[in-house]
Amino acid sequence: MKEKNLYDSWLDHSLSEEERESLQNDEQFLVFEKITQAAQYFRSPELDVSSSYDRLLSDLESKNKITSWRTYAASIAAILMIGFLTYTTVFSEQPSNYSSQIGEKLAIELPLKSRVQLNAGASLSYDKTIWKKSREVTLQGEAFFDVTPGASFKVTTTDAIIVVTGTKFNVAQHEDYLTVACYEGSIAVQIGNMSYSLEKGQQITLINSKLEHENVAIPNPSWINNKSYFKSTPLTFILDELARQYELDLETDSVDKSVIFTGSFTHENLDTALQSISIPLKLSYTIEGTKVRLVKEN
């Protein structure tokens, strides 16, 4: 009975140091210790191990029977097995999520050798457990895709769904702004109830609900080479992209951000980037740490 009480105290985490020392030469106790050491590697949000121990002890006491050390071991092992199964079920089914920070570009190797590069401030997610059946990703921000031939590959954004088989293409999705450009093969783009087919060298742009279907101006996405290029785009979207490439607090209260801009800026030098924007638009700027103030020149 004394031995049973010591085991009860151990399970209840109330075993004194003196009592623990008295069990150090007990083979049964050493088995229990090894089991609990293994338990530290399992973390499951669905399982309250402490409550499970309490219920186990309550059942044992209510039956007024002496439980053998083998039964204790089996009970503890069962609890740990439940924890392991819960852990693998919960976490193995989680989607794969990737995000790039301000000024950061991120290369991702997708299953079956497809690749994607995220521009600054973008995020992408997919479920790898169903990838062989359904190659689908969700995108926020801008990314360049290099898709290996195979089953249909789908990119879902806020405004569009892009479907391909094997091709290279670029997607940029921000608030009130969408561009999809095809650099190899062909792609299908669905925007609302409308569908568009793009061949190599073509792109569509949706800005403030206005759709343009045109040729790609450059052979590859400019941002991959650390430069952002825009054609006939309102200044507000250029400044948004500037803030994604540099950690900035922009002050533009005196600037008309609806003015149209065609040009580019570098991702490698803030002063040069600001000059590329401000000189054509006759703006001036000041830089104080991360704060940049743009004003209209008189």
Per-residue pLDDT of 221-231, as tens digits, reads 999 999 999 99
214-244 burial string, b = 16+ CB within 10 Å, else e?
A: eebeeeebbbeeebbebbebbbbbbbbbbbb
Say if residue 279's pLDDT is above 60.
Answer: yes
Residue 145 near residue 177 (C-beta atoms within 8 A): no
* pLDDT tens digits, one per residue of 143-178: 999 999 988 999 999 999 999 989 999 999 999 999
Reported as a pLDDT band with limits 50, 70 and 90, residue 6 is low
Of the candidates 236, 252, 246, 237, which has an alpha carbon nearest to the alpha carbon of residue 294?
Answer: 252
Lowest mean pLDDT among 42-46, 118-122, 262-266: 42-46
For the chain, percent of residues with pLDDT exceeding 70: 69
Residue 229 near residue 222 (C-beta atoms within 8 A): yes
Say if residue 259's pLDDT is above 70.
Answer: yes
Mean pLDDT of the chain: 82
pLDDT of residue 291: 94
For the chain, percent of residues with pLDDT exceeding 90: 62
What is the number of other CB atoms lying within 10 angstroms of the CB of residue 107? Answer: 11
Q: Which two tokens stand for residue 243?
A: 């803030």
Say if residue 14's pLDDT is above 70.
Answer: no
d(CA 226, CA 272): 13
Residue 246 near residue 273 (C-beta atoms within 8 A): yes
* pLDDT tens digits, one per residue of 22-38: 666 666 666 566 555 54
| E strand intervals along 74-201 | 96-99, 106-109, 115-118, 123-126, 135-147, 153-156, 161-164, 167-174, 177-184, 186-191, 194-199
Q: Which two tokens stand for residue 14?
A: 């109330």
Task: Report, as an integer, the average pLDDT of 231-243.
Answer: 96
Residue 153 near residue 169 (C-beta atoms within 8 A): no
Q: Which residue has the higher pLDDT, 80 or 161?
A: 161
pLDDT of residue 143: 98
- The domains of the chain, with CATH numbers, are 2-92 (no CATH), 114-217 (2.60.120.1440), 226-296 (3.55.50.30)
pLDDT of residue 135: 95
pLDDT of residue 92: 45
Q: Which residue has the higher pLDDT, 126 or 39?
A: 126
Q: Output Rg (C-alpha) for the chain, integer angstroms.
A: 30
Reported as a pLDDT band with limits 50, 70 and 90, residue 132 is confident
Of the candidates 33, 31, 26, 27, which has an alpha carbon nearest to the alpha carbon of residue 10?
Answer: 33
pLDDT of residue 115: 97
Task: Report, as an integer, the average pLDDT of 54-78.
Answer: 53
Q: What are phi and psi of 55, to 5 degrees?
A: -65, -40
Instruction: Specify the residue for token string 């088989």.
Output: 165
Distances (CA, A) of 244 to 68, 247, 269, 283: 64, 7, 14, 20
How does strand 291-296 pair with strand 283-288?
A: antiparallel
